[in-house]
Amino acid sequence: MLRVLNGEPVWPLPIWIMRQAGRYLPEYRETRKQAGSFLDLCYNPRLAEEVTLQPIRRFGFDASILFSDILVIPHALGQDVRFVENEGPKLDPVTTEKDFSRLADELPLERLDPVFETLDRLSKSLPKETTLLGFCGAPWTVASYMIAGKGTPDQAPARLTAYRDPAFMDALIDKLVRASTAYLIRQIDAGAEAVQIFESFGSALPPALFDRLSLNPIRRMVEGLKQARPQAKVIVFVRGGGANLHRFASAGIGDGLALDWTLDPAVVLPTMPDTVATQGNLDPLALIAGGAALTDGVDHILGAVRGRPHIFNLGHGILPETPIEHVAQMIARVRGA
């Protein structure tokens, strides 16, 4: 996988999948019961290591991604974060200067020591051929949760804030850029060989806000990480990024760009430089469906990326109801090509 991120075509394609440690696996569900809350699981190095290793043991993916959550950064900064069963994350909204002033000026890295311990453990327990990935959320995506206090369908609370109080939004984004960069640097020091930045809410941003709230903050993060740790490899995933992917590629933001499932690699990739590594982009619902839908989806991607540096993945995270046998079928198809 690291060869691909260096711009080298590799065949068969290396493969991993977003959320590969999670609720579709019975062994994950059993471990989750031991942890208490979801955040307790994220902050328990022994159990977080275990759930990170589970999909590697079962499927032999070429990369293993740290089990954690993008909201550990606002949690470490001092915002109340909790996960409600069957509802998702709940946060005390940050919408005023008073709320903002309660946040730490700089990320208290010691509050995230359990995460770094998990990475250290994984760097020793993973097979040598398995790439260890760290990650964090992009500032816009994390800010959207912090302002709304929860996930929202179109990130309207954060978008309104960006229009009505640009100074407040810029200050929050700036704080998250600095915190996220420090967090990624520490992940590399703890053993991560590459990191992925998740801009899960990129599709919500109109052109008038995209550069200010997504592209430029991610650029600053990547530049800051590369300046501090030149060997670090970075994958940028902008869900709903569409035409903006070309702008990330031309600006050299990241070593790899992940495609969501709405993009046709046969159309998009010929317009991008051959040296830019890409990742993706099977529809998670095709993986649930299995059969011809899965086979055709895999084969279309394989046909479009042959000869290019590409990492096979989904176009978003694997869904809890995904049959395990379909994951095995997908891997066999990719590796048998």
Domain CATH code at residue 26: 3.20.20.210
Helices 166-190 + 156-164 axis angle, to 10: 120
Query: What sign does the dihedral 189-192-193-194 (CA atoms) show?
Result: negative
The whole domain housing 159 covers 1-336
Helix/strand/coil percentages in the chain, nearest 5: 55, 15, 35
**Is 274 known to sit in a ligand binding site?**
no
pLDDT of residue 185: 98
Q: What is the pLDDT of residue 85?
A: 80
pLDDT for the residue 283: 98
H-assigned helices in the chain: 2-5, 26-35, 38-42, 45-59, 72-77, 97-101, 113-125, 139-148, 156-164, 166-190, 207-210, 216-228, 244-250, 265-268, 284-289, 291-305, 324-335
Tell whether 229 is in a known binding site. Answer: no
The annotation status of 19 as a binding-site residue, yes or no, is: yes
Which regions in the chain score pLDDT beneath 70? 337
Count the domains in the chain.
Answer: 1
pTM score > 0.95 for this model? yes
Whether residue 80 is annotated as binding a ligand: the answer is: no
- Tell me what pLDDT residue 87 has: 82
Q: Residue 337's pLDDT is what? A: 63
For the annotated catalytic residues, the residue numbers are 19, 23, 32, 69, 145
Residue 244, pLDDT score: 86
